[in-house]
């Protein structure tokens, strides 16, 4: 019997993030179902590199009867190589933040998000089906013109929160003070600035014995982090802690010390930290934007008005009213149970078998010199990395600037 093949391809495999957890979960389900399944990437966290293969090996493991599960978040070289191959493809869309959020903060990401959103439209004729990890993402795919869409629900694993909490952080923060927590990458669409403003009013008007714990990596967004520090100084609000990227043990300690999870994010495709807070029995107050209401599934507390006095009053109501807090936590437990009842493996394999069993679709084709361009780009990339002086000596493109090579 011929072994069925279903590989995954994506730009980068990160450690501890939602996409990384989903990729490894999909691979586990596929392998348990008897598929040969590898993960092809451009880059990976050093702790995960041993679980991946270089995307440049993908053409050597390509066949029209194979399936590629393509995680699309931003356009990439891995994405374009996968597009050009004859394999059947299922696209999983993790959403692309609108580029306007990064104007003045990260010029490169503005360009990446713009190009990624534009490039996504090219896949409407390339894939067997396109899946969102939330219905919000699925609706965006449908709006873009994908003829077959569905939802592959995010069913997070919480094993990373079932570890011994970091003793130092527990000792530092698990005390009689009220801890307000937010977890997320320090990027503008997450609206850390609004969280700080809300906390400022709450601490000033309701609870001086409170602190704000902000958890998340800021690499690439140092300018935004500086802006946040300036905001804290301008408001004169004490007890705001920027904790950066933390270990699982540290994250567990912070959730266990938290009295409230406060989210002001304006753009989410799902937002896993919300359900992490559910899992750790931390009451959630969240801004009702994009996929957040669906993720909460009727639990937690949603607000649609970002008036600072209003949100601060909500925070006080949840923290100071034990009966209300218990009711919120019970609602969150029920929502979490509904989420965990979803059979991720059955849903995934249903989509995979549907894609493999359906008649093939004509490949939209690529430029006749596509693979020559790929080879040239690889040579230029080697020059840039290992002989930068030779790379910089190359003549500029006609419009001026650096050599015309994709980065």
Position 386 scores a pLDDT of 62
Q: Is residue 30 part of a domain?
A: yes
Domain match, 233 and 303 both: yes
CB 7 within 8 A of CB 41: no
pLDDT of residue 21: 83
Within a domain: residue 372? no
Same domain, 30 and 95: yes
**What pLDDT, in 10s, does the model give residues 29-44?**
999 999 999 999 999 9
Residue 398 placed within a domain: no
Average pLDDT over residues 320-333: 98
Q: What residues are paired with 260 via a beta bridge?
A: 180
Q: Which two tokens stand for residue 402?
A: 């650096």
- Of 49-58, 260-269, 356-365, the poorest mean pLDDT is in 356-365
Other Cβ atoms less than 10 A from the Cβ of 298: the count is 12
211 - beta bridge partners? Answer: 179
Pair 301, 286: CB distance under 8 Å: yes
**DSSP code string of 257-270:** H-SEEEE--S--SS
Residue 368 has a pLDDT of 56
Confidence of residue 400 (pLDDT cuts 50, 70, 90): very low
End-of-domain residue from the set 341, 356, 374: 341
Same domain, 179 and 327: yes
* 262 and 182 Cβ atoms separated by less than 8 Å: yes
pLDDT band at 391 (very low <50, low <70, confident <90, very high): low
Residue with tokens 């977890």: 183
193 and 283 share a domain? yes
Three-state secondary structure call for residue 182: strand
- Taking residues 289-304, report their average pLDDT: 97
Judgement on whether residues 269 and 185 belong to the same structural domain of the protein: yes
**Any domain includes 87:** yes
Q: How far is CA 340 from CA 155, 163, 337, 359, in A?
A: 6, 20, 5, 33
- Give the least confident one: 91-105, 305-319, 330-344, 376-390: 376-390
- Band the pLDDT of 220: cuts 50, 70, 90: confident
**301 lies in some domain:** yes
* Residue 334 shares a structural domain with residue 277: yes
With a cut of 90, say whether residue 7 has pLDDT above it: yes
Q: What total of structural domains would you count in the chain?
A: 2
pTM as predicted: 0.83
Give yes or no: residues 40 and 96 share one domain: yes
Angle at alpha carbon of residue 257, lines to 252 and 154, rounded to 5°: 45
- Give the number of residues written for the chain: 407
In a domain, 262, yes or no: yes
Same-domain status, 102 and 61: yes
Predicted confidence band at 403 (pLDDT cuts at 50, 70, 90)?
very low
Whether 134 and 269 have beta carbons less than 8 Å apart is answered as: yes
Q: What is the pLDDT of residue 302?
A: 98
Mean pLDDT score of the chain: 90
For the CA atoms of 162, 167, 172, 178, the dihedral, rounded to the nearest 10 degrees, stands at: 30
What is the bridge-based pairing of β-strands 178-183 and 260-263? parallel
- The pLDDT, as a whole number, for residue 361 is 82
For residue 404, the model assigns a pLDDT of 41
For residues 240 and 210, what is the distance between their CA atoms, to the nearest angstrom? 9
Same domain for 259 and 117, yes or no, is: no
pLDDT of residue 390: 60
Within this chain, do residues 302 and 274 fall inside the same structural domain, yes or no?
yes
pLDDT of residue 27: 95
Q: Do residues 246 and 254 lie in contact, with contact meaning Cβ atoms separated by under 8 Å?
A: yes
* End-to-end CA, the chain: 42
Both 82 and 142 in one domain: the answer is yes
pLDDT digits (tens, 9 = 90+) for 167-190: 999 999 999 999 999 999 999 999
Most confident of 100-114, 126-140, 227-241, 362-376: 227-241
Q: CA 203 to CA 258: how far, in whole Å?
A: 15
Return d(Cα 93, Cα 90) in angstroms, integer. 10
Whether pLDDT at 49 is above 70: yes
The two structure tokens encoding residue 283 = 């009451």
The CATH number that applies at residue 308 is 3.40.50.2000
Task: Over range 115-133, report the average pLDDT.
Answer: 91
With respect to residue 297, please indicate whether it lies within any of the assigned structural domains.
Answer: yes
Joined together, the tokens standing for residue 69 give 């599960």
- Tell me, yes or no, whether 111 and 20 share the same domain: yes
Domain contains 377: no
What are the pLDDT digits (tens) for 229-275? 999 999 999 999 999 999 999 999 999 999 999 999 999 999 999 99
Q: Residue 187 has which token pair?
A: 């990027």
Residue 112 has pLDDT above 90, yes or no: no
Domain residue limits at 271: 161-341
Q: Where are the alpha helices (DSSP H) in 190-241?
A: 192-205, 222-235
DSSP annotation of 286: E
Judging by DSSP bridges, how do beta strands 67-72 and 53-54 pair with one another? unpaired
Separation CA 316–CA 325 (nearest Å): 11
Report whether pLDDT(204) > 80: yes
Is 90 exceeded by the pLDDT of residue 374?
A: no
């Amino acid at each position: 019997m011929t072994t069925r093949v279903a590989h995954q391809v994506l730009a980068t495999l990160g450690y501890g993030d939602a996409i990384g957890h989903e990729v490894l979960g999909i691979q586990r389900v596929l392998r348990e179902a008897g598929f040969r399944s590898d993960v092809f990437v451009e880059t990976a966290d050093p702790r995960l590199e041993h679980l991946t293969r270089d995307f440049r090996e993908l053409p050597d493991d390509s066949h029209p009867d194979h399936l590629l599960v393509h995680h699309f978040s931003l356009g990439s070289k891995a994405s374009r190589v996968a597009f050009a191959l004859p394999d059947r493809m299922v696209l999983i869309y993790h959403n692309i933040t609108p580029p306007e959020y990064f104007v003045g903060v990260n010029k490169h990401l503005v360009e990446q998000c713009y190009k990624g959103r534009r490039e996504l439209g090219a896949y409407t004729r390339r894939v067997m089906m396109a899946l969102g990890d939330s219905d919000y993402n699925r609706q965006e795919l449908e709006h873009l013109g994908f003829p077959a869409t569905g939802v592959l629900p995010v069913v997070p694993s919480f094993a990373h929160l079932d570890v011994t909490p970091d003793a130092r952080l527990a000792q530092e923060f698990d005390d009689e003070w009220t801890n307000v927590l937010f977890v997320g990458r320090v990027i503008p669409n997450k609206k850390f600035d609004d969280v700080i403003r809300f906390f400022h009013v709450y601490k000033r008007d309701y609870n001086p014995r409170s602190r704000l714990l902000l958890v998340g990596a800021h690499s690439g967004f140092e300018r935004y982090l500086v802006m946040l520090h300036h905001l804290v100084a301008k408001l004169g609000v004490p007890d705001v802690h920027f904790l950066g990227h933390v270990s699982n043990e540290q994250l567990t300690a912070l959730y266990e010390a938290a009295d409230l999870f406060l989210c002001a994010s304006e753009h989410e495709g799902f937002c896993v930290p919300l359900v992490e807070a559910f899992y750790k029995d931390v009451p959630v107050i969240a801004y009702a934007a994009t996929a957040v209401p669906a993720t909460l599934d009727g639990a937690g507390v949603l607000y649609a008005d970002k008036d600072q006095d209003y949100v601060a009053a909500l925070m006080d109501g949840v923290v100071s009213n034990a009966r209300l807090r218990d009711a919120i936590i019970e609602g969150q437990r029920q929502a979490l149970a509904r989420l965990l009842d979803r059979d991720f493996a059955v849903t995934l394999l249903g989509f995979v078998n549907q894609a493999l069993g359906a008649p093939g679709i004509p490949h939209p084709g690529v430029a006749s010199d596509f693979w020559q361009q790929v080879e040239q780009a690889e040579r230029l990339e080697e020059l840039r990395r290992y002989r930068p002086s030779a790379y910089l000596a190359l003549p500029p493109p006609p419009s001026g600037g650096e050599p015309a090579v994709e980065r």
